[in-house]
Chains A and B, each alone.
Chain A
Amino acid sequence: MMIGPIGFAAPWLLVALAALPILWLLLRAVPPAPVRRRFPGVALLLGLRDEDSVTDRTPWWLLLLRMLAVAAVIIGFAGPVLNPERDAGARNADPLLVVMDASWASARDWPAQREFLDAMLAEAGRESRAVAVLRLSDPETPVFRSAATWRGRLPGLAPAAWEPSPQTMQDAAGMLGDAPFETRWLSDGLAREGRGALLDALETHGPVTIIESAKPILALAPAMLEDGALALTALRTDAALARDVTILAHGRDPSGAPRVLAQLPLSFTAGETTAAGALTLPAELRARLTRFEIAGQDHAGAVSLTGDGLKRREVALIAGREDREGLELLSPLHYLNRALAPSADLLDGALMDVLPAAPDVIVLADVATLAGAEQAALLDWVEGGGALLRFAGPRLAASDVSRAEEAPLMPVRLRAGGRTVGGAMSWGSPKALAPFPEDSPFHGLPIPDDVKVSAQVMAQPDPDLAQRVIAQLEDGTPLVTRKRIGAGQVVLFHVTANAEWSTLPLSGLFVQMLERLAISSGAGLPGAEDLAGTTWSPVQVMDAFGALEDAGALPGVAGADLADAALGPDLRPGVYEDEDRRIARNVIGSDDAIAPVAWPAGTRISGLAPGTERPLGGWLLALALVLLAADVLASLGLSGRLWPARAGAALILAAALTLPQPGAAQESPEALADELTLAHVITGDAQLDDMAKAGLRGLTQTLFFRTSVEPAEPVGVNLETDELAFFPLLYWPISPDQPTPSAEAYVKLNRYLRTGGMILFDTRDADVAGFGAASPNGARLQRLAAPLDIPPLEPVPRDHVLTRAFYLLQDFPGRYAGQPVWVEAAPPDAEQVEGMPFRNLNDGVTPVVIGGNDWAAAWAVDRRGAPMFPVGRGNAGERQRELAYRFGVNLVMHVLTGNYKSDQVHVPALLDRLGQ
């Protein structure tokens, strides 16, 4: 039974509410119970009559109080439940079908969905209902099994990186069979075709409940190159509120390590579902980008991979003859310039000048002979991966290059003179192109009718000519030939680069051919016709959570499908490549939009949030208890018995007030200021934080036992929210994935360092990288510490005060030993003190100590005081732990006493002055 959002487990109990008026009358009629009092003066009372025998009835407000208490008890026992998961009527024994969209959009709250599913399966198990799970992104005929079976499979359920297509949903609708069942549909919240039909099909079998997360979906459209800047567009489903997101541009740094190369904040204004921004990056940086993602969104829709689309190749154009003044259209480079300029960076200059710039492509238009040095350098460059594109022309035709034997930088031998067809003085007509053969990179390109070739250079028929031809005329003469040299290639167009010999440069086919040869690359995903006939093999594919994984043995994909087809099990989002090019296929295409699903009216929709069902019975019974307690007090007060009980009541009240308050997780700043407290930075990695805390606890105990420093229990410090001024020392363990503090936190940290605080950075990796970027921790430390105001550092010199602040130490082992520890460098003018083994070093305390010895692990003790992590082996290990503790003691002493020990060097001078 439901009353508004409240359901009742035992609604018949509510009938008892009808008895309340009777109770009212009864309570009205019965006066409060009398008090028995011993009173000697009763002899004087004998015979006195009460003047008004009915006035001392229970007052109305007390009656109301009791009524409320009784009503609360009745309603409480009737089992009220706020937002019950479903009403009692739906409790049936039909099998349960769980339909999951299981798309990339489901990945954003997949753990919650899985938890929800687990709870649902547990409930179905309690009710002995058979369960089937249908994943729409990869539908299989649902088989009803026991809930326990499905619970066992739960960890294996994962969302797919694609969406269910209308076709798959139609397939799924066809798999449902005839049996009745109840359906719960875990929707991802995105509108798509086919949902309505499937919903109708499901409703014919039984009730359907839609379960949807209220979390809005954010997605990222592929980046586009516009005017030299990267245009990024973020999409969202929920347009209600303004929201800021950050786009992270991931790429590889020059050493090849992946890192965030740039960030772009985007703002959704309220009411808008898109937010656009532009990111300007240098070409070199842009070429290293691998993907963009919306920070904090863990699903594939928020990740946009980049293929070659964002790269601009450097193309050097070199013509064999001087431009003839005024004949722009006859320039051999004019059409190349026009074709390449939009998508490539063009280099002009002499061959030997452009070679050091390592262009991706060098175009030689009708260049016949090359100097020996030029040829050697060019050959080196081609073998190293360069693409040399040559065009024929009168000079090449007239020269002896590659005549008798194949020149290294020519794909074929040429016959002398070339040929001319269809001219005024020749037989025949200009030749059209033959369809591209299947093994040609141009396979699938449509050939316009107006492309005619009227002159060309002819290839000598050599044994390997056939395999070098990648385009030919309809009479079978080669038009484009290619030869691979090392990692590079030489491609020869047997016609000129201008329109003298053919109309090819005038056609769109010319541009497409250049693209296919990776001479130029178009922005964004090439169209289907551009890719027709090619086959692409996946390099990396993306899962639903936006993580990239190696494609492994996934089959290749036809180019047309790659461009157009919907994503699915056969076409996963990821990076695909053919011989020379890489194309990224993203979950969100450039024209896609995302919209929240609109379910038909009357559909039952519930949220994903767990614990929406809230039993109220306990609260009502507690309320009844409180009311009854108030009634006791009021009755006592009315009958005059409250005042002797006053002391007791005060006692109860005092006891209630001094009930132990729930302990605050973080001590108040005043409490921290009372005692010296060691602190560690909370990294967000619970295990690491626990370890750091245990380590500081061990150090605290050591200090307590051995020195006059008696710190309080160590605390964790949240850099964003907590005040740092109370802590003399912050231990900061580095983990590769800890979040970067905000700008305000850095301001706070710098203020802390400048006002005498010390941070002990611990990369915990035994300093294998020597603080280079080779270890993830080292790289993270570099990024974390970059905004900090840190002076020049040096490894701890042998006479540093850290070596003698309390114990005499020469190295500072933690769990690892032997690696240098870095502190603020001594001033260059530090001088050796006469008669002392150390220099007169810098005043003050080093603001940072950086090392990788994993000190906290060596210090860490559990609650019983036993070490938590092994250090070294046997006694040597215990010795190392002891030294680690000594380092900790020295460090704290150094922080607290500064250069006090260093000042001892002045003792002789002071004694001198005292006249001794």
Chain B
Amino acid sequence: MSAAPASLRARAESEAARFPPLLARAERLAGSVILGEHGRRRAGLGDDFWQYRPLQEGDQRRMIDWRRSARSDAQFVREREWQIAQSVMLWVDSAASMRFASAPDLPEKADRAALLALAASVLLLRGGERVGLTGAALPPRRGEAQILRLARSLGDAAAEDYGAPETRGMLPHSRALFVSDFLGDPEPVRAALTKAADRGVQGVLYQVLDPAEEAFPYRGRAIFESIGGTLAHETLKAADLRDRYLDRLARRKAELAALCDATGWRYGCHHTSESAQSALLWLFGAIEGGGRAR
């Protein structure tokens, strides 16, 4: 890397120039989602009164709101509206395999993934949640400034071919969003989800795929290489491989879905040829609902 100030500045500017568009696009995408009345509308830790409910089995006695209970024969528990901000941890795969687009008019998977993640972050941050990245790089924080920091971090590219979810720094009982193509080794994913489930973290596993990866439109003799070039596979008749490839892809998806089921996560699949907005709606709903919606 050049130390020349001019070069550094030029690079910095070109780097910086990438954020506003991503951010702007993310904001615009997020703006298309109308949140309606703000609030969790469910019982939780907060300042505002939510409801009285009868005492149930398992409730501790000190949870009884005696003033309300005194006005009747039953005992009530006073619940407050859930107002404690939720932490949402993002992991967006930035490995080489995400930097792939099969056609010039399609966005790269990494681009779409970062866009969706950032747009969801914008929505969540505006909803008062804390959003951060897994790992130690960007712990969850609130506020508009976090959007900018997220945008900056989401642009980073990793060198390895296939990414593995980062599970360090995941707050217990927080929410998580993992965006990747999940074409690499599924074991790290399994381990990450298991660990997350151990910590009570629920979230969404969002798979972003290119249409070519879904259709495998190749024929003839070919050598397939991964984007990073570490993996290669040669075939004499690519067309013959299609069915078996699609079979493997379907099994991979099924495996991911099963994993999510087991851990209370939600699994979604998105193709870069589809609309980002519908994907964002689904994603936001899924994060909101968490595993409970299922």
Contact = CB atoms under 8 A, between A and B. Distances in A.
Given A32-B221, A37-B224, 11 more contacts: A32-B220, A34-B221, A39-B225, A40-B100, A40-B227, A42-B231, A42-B233, A43-B184, A50-B237, A56-B236, A640-B218
A31 B238 CA distance: 14
Interface in B203-224: 210, 212-213, 216, 218-224
A35 interface: yes
Contacts of A56: 220-221, 236-237
A214 interface: no
B241 A48 contact: yes
B6 interface: no
A50 B240 contact: yes
A153 interface: no
Contact of B225 (A38, A48, A50, A52): A38
A31 B221 CA distance: 8
A640 B238 contact: yes
A686 interface: no
A35 B233 CA distance: 11
Contacts of A31: 221, 236
A41 B227 contact: no
A639 B227 contact: no
B43 interface: no
B231 A46 contact: yes
Contacts of B219: 639-640
A45 B221 contact: no
A55 interface: yes
A634 to B, nearest CB: 12
Interface in A635-662: 638-641
A39 B231 CA distance: 10
5 A-B pairs with least C-beta separation:
A640-B219, A639-B220, A40-B97, A640-B220, A42-B224
Contacts of B100: 38-40
Q: Which of B98, B220, B223, B227 has the most CB of A within 10 A?
A: B220
B241 A45 contact: yes
A667 interface: no
Nearest to A33: B221
A599 to B, nearest CB: 64
A43 B237 contact: no
Interface of B: 97-98, 100, 109, 162, 181, 183-185, 210, 212-213, 216, 218-227, 231-238, 240-241, 244-245, 248-249, 252
Interface of A: 31-46, 48, 50-53, 55-56, 638-641
Contacts of B235: 45, 48, 50
A35 B245 contact: no
B237 A52 contact: yes
B185 to A, nearest CB: 8
B210 A40 contact: yes
Given A43-B183, A50-B240, A34 B227 contact: no
Contacts of A53: 236
B224 A39 contact: yes
26 contacts: A32-B221, A33-B221, A34-B234, A35-B220, A37-B224, A37-B225, A38-B224, A39-B100, A39-B212, A40-B97, A40-B98, A41-B183, A43-B185, A43-B226, A44-B249, A45-B245, A46-B231, A48-B241, A50-B241, A51-B237, A51-B240, A55-B236, A638-B220, A639-B221, A639-B222, A641-B220
Nearest to B226: A42
For A34, A40, A52, A639, which residue has the most chain B Cβ atoms within 10 angstroms? A40
B178 to A, nearest CB: 17
A454 B236 CA distance: 130
Given A48-B235, A48-B245, A50-B240, A36 B210 contact: no
Contacts of A43: 97, 162, 183-185, 226, 231
A821 to B, nearest CB: 74
A50 B224 contact: no
Given A34-B223, A36-B222, A48-B244, A41 B236 contact: no
A35 B183 contact: no
Contacts of A640: 218-220, 222, 238
Given A40-B100, A45-B245, A46-B231, A35 B223 contact: yes
Contacts of B185: 43
B233 A48 contact: yes
B83 to A, nearest CB: 43
Most buried by B among A34, A45, A46, A55: A45
A761 to B, nearest CB: 70
A32 B223 CA distance: 12
Nearest to B249: A44
B240 to A, nearest CB: 6
A42 B225 contact: yes
A46 B161 CA distance: 14
Nearest to B229: A38
Contacts of A46: 231, 233
Most buried by A among B184, B224, B227: B224
A40 B213 contact: yes
Contacts of A34: 221-223, 234
A35 B222 contact: yes
Contacts of B222: 34-37, 639-640
A33 B252 CA distance: 31
B46 to A, nearest CB: 44
A513 to B, nearest CB: 109
A36 B225 contact: yes
Nearest to A53: B236
Nearest to B247: A44
A52 B249 CA distance: 22
Contacts of A55: 236-237
A38 B245 CA distance: 16
B219 to A, nearest CB: 4
Given A39-B212, A40-B213, A640-B219, A45 B224 contact: yes
A638 B184 CA distance: 31
A44 B232 contact: no
Contacts of A50: 235-237, 240-241
Contacts of B226: 38-40, 42-43
B155 to A, nearest CB: 20
Nearest to A47: B233
Contacts of B244: 48
